Each structure stands twice: as C-alpha cells, then as structure tokens.
Amino acid sequence: MEHVALQASSTKIDPKYQIGMMAILFPILYALIDGLGTFADGIYLDELSLISEDAALLSYEFTFFACAVLAFIYLRFVKKQRFNLFQERVKGYAAIFETIGQFFYVFAMSSNAIIAAPLIASYSIFSVILSRIFLKERLNKAQYAVVIVVIIGIALLGIADEL
C-alpha cells in the first residue's frame, strides 16, 4: 500500500532501499542452507560413513562441472556472449582454489565433523576481521563483542574435543 502511494506521488525512491529486504534475506537463507548442507555432510562423511571421501569429492566436482556446462550453454547460446577460457585466468584460479578447498573440507568433515564444521563456518568472522584490517571498516562495540564470543566458542570447542 505504501509502495503504491509512493509510486503515485512524485517522490523518487532510492533503488538501494527497494532491494533492502533481499539484501537481508539472501545472506540469512545462504547461512541456513549452508548450515543444513554442512550438517548433512557431517552425517554422511563422519557419523555414518555412508560415503567415502573419494566418492564425496567426485560428486562435488561433477556437480561443479555440470553447473559450469550449464553456465557455458547459457552464456554462449542464450546470452550470445563469447567465452574464451584463456581470457578468464582469474576465474580459473578461483576454480582451482575452490577445488583445493573442497578437498580439505571433505577430509576435515570425514575425520571430525563436530570440530571441523564450526571452524569452517567461522569464515564470516574472519571476513569481518580481515575487512577491519585491510579495508579499514569501522566496527562498533557490539560487533567486536560478537567476534570475541565466536572466537571463544571456537576455542572452547577445540578444548572440549581434547578432553
């Protein structure tokens, strides 16, 4: 109702406010879906050992390959864009590092998912810390408190596993 009234008036709505809900919703959905996937990986790889590390790695890589083929088909035949593999050097490096990361992820989750999952999930905290260091982002006291609580929680998980 409010949106219709604003459109009827001559008031110009800043586009950044129009997509605000999506900007909040997408990271939350990503975190939930990623958490569920990590939980399932822990069950399949560590608790029940339903799938071997090699089979998990192959399934991940075949999934990424299928997505790459679909993206190529979309770019080449739907969007009619040219694609030269040798001009996509940075994306190639990103794919290589993603594959290396996936290798370590699978073996970490298969050896001790209870400890590996929170450590892997803490990338967002390290992104905050690195953005403070390199991008000079300003953090308020509450954000510093959350960073410290998460780091203490990770340390406690490591200590609890040793006991």
CA 54 vs. chain centroid, Å, equals 22
**Would you state the structure tokens that stand for residue 39, as one six-digit string?**
């939980």
Q: What angle do CA 14, 16, 22 make, to 5 degrees?
A: 135
pLDDT at 163: 67
pLDDT digits (tens, 9 = 90+) for 76-114: 999 999 888 889 899 889 989 999 999 999 999 998 888
pLDDT at 27: 85
By the 8 A CB rule, do 46 and 112 touch?
Answer: yes
pLDDT at 97: 94
| pLDDT-based confidence at residue 11 (cuts at 50, 70, 90) | low
The model's pTM: 0.70
Query: Can you tell me whether residue 12 is helix, strand or coil?
Result: coil
pLDDT at 65: 93
Backbone angles phi, psi at 140, to 5 degrees: -90, 180
For the chain, the average pLDDT equals 85
| pLDDT-based confidence at residue 48 (cuts at 50, 70, 90) | confident
